[in-house]
Amino acid sequence: MFERWTDNFRAVLSAARRPGRRTLDKVSEGDILRAIVEAPESLGTRLLNAAGVDLRRLQVGLRPSIGFDLIHLIEEAGAESRRRGDRWVGTEHLLLALARYTPSHVSDLLSGEGASLERLEQILEEARQQGPPPLSSRLRIAWSAFFNWIRKR
The CATH number of whichever domain residue 8 belongs to comes to 1.10.1780.10
The answer on pLDDT for 23 being more than 90 is no
Helix (H), strand (E) at residue 1: none
> What residue numbers bound the domain in which 129 lies?
2-152
| Confidence at residue 121, expressed as pLDDT on a 0 to 100 scale | 93
- String of b and e for 3-35 (b: at least 16 CB within 10 Å)? ebbbebbebbbeebbeeeeeeeeebbbbbbbbb
| Confidence at residue 70, expressed as pLDDT on a 0 to 100 scale | 87
| Confidence at residue 145, expressed as pLDDT on a 0 to 100 scale | 65
Burial class of residue 57 (count of CB atoms within 10 Å of its CB; 0-12, 13-18, 19+): exposed
Residue range 1-25: mean pLDDT, rounded: 83
**Nearby residues of 50 by Cβ (< 8 Å), 6 or more positions away:** 123, 127
The answer on pLDDT for 140 being more than 80 is no
| Confidence at residue 110, expressed as pLDDT on a 0 to 100 scale | 93
Angstrom distance (rounded) from CA 117 to CA 49: 14
Angstrom distance (rounded) from CA 76 to CA 42: 18
| Confidence at residue 1, expressed as pLDDT on a 0 to 100 scale | 62
The answer on pLDDT for 59 being more than 80 is yes
Query: pLDDT > 90: what percent of the chain?
Result: 42
Angstrom distance (rounded) from CA 21 to CA 55: 24
Angstrom distance (rounded) from CA 82 to CA 91: 14
User: What DSSP assignment string belongs to 35-96?
Assistant: HHHT-TTSHHHHHHHHTT--HHHHHHT----SS--HHHHHHHHHHHHHHTT-SSB-HHHHHH
**101 versus 76: which is more confidently predicted?**
76
User: What DSSP assignment string belongs to 100-125?
Assistant: HS-S-HHHHHHHHTT--HHHHHHHHH
Count how many domains the chain has: 1
| Confidence at residue 143, expressed as pLDDT on a 0 to 100 scale | 60
